[in-house]
Amino acid sequence: MAETESKSDDPAREIAERYRHRVGGVLTALRETVARFGYVSRSREHVVADVFNLSRAEVRGIVSFYHDLKTTPQPPVQVRVCQAEACQSVGARELTTRVESHLGIKLGETNDAVSLDAVYCLGLCAQAPSMMVNGRPLARADLCDLAEEIPA
């Protein structure tokens, strides 16, 4: 079966069916698909489109709009460094440079072990700069925090 075909036994169908009649169900189903499988494959986009009676293009549009709805397998460690104003005012750019050096990748890049992305406000402005490692927010972040999480 081609990757673009919608399989009837795909576990993503059970997820989508669960949210089928809920307001915001499409996004919730896609988020749960990412939580369970790590990303939303094309075939799973098609499953969601089928269950919600949407076009594949509509579901593709939703998936492509939200950065968190990954479409490819992700590395085991995901780092995000806040680039918004409050964090910039207390050294987020310098922190980003140090994090890039520590990880050996630039902002927006991914390797087999880690991804490094920008995020625009984690709600920790009063404790800036901030970053997030595998969904765990780090306030008043510095390279030592990251080095504890990800030794070089």
The binding site for ligand FES (CB under 6 A) comprises: 82, 84-87, 121-125, 128, 130
Q: Tell me the closest approach of the beta carbon of residue 138 to ligand FES, in angstroms.
A: 10
Least distance in Å: CB of 101 to ligand FES?
Answer: 21
> Is the Cβ of residue 12 or residue 141 nearer to ligand FES in the bound state?
141
- The CA–CA distances, whole Å, from 27 to 22, 56, 109, 112, 128 equal 10, 14, 25, 28, 30
State how far the Cα of 59 lies from the Cα of 47, in Å rounded to an integer: 10
CB of 95 to ligand FES, least distance (A): 11
How, if at all, do strands 77-82 and 131-133 pair? Answer: antiparallel
* Nearest residue (CB) to ligand FES, 73 versus 108: 108
* Nearer of residues 63 and 92 to ligand FES, judged by Cβ: 92
Q: Which residues of 8-38 are buried (b: 16+ CB within 10 A; e: fewer)?
A: eebebbebbeebeeeeebbbebbbebbeebe
Q: How far is the CB of 137 from ligand FES (least distance, A)?
A: 8
Q: Which is nearer to ligand FES, 48 or 87 (CB)?
A: 87
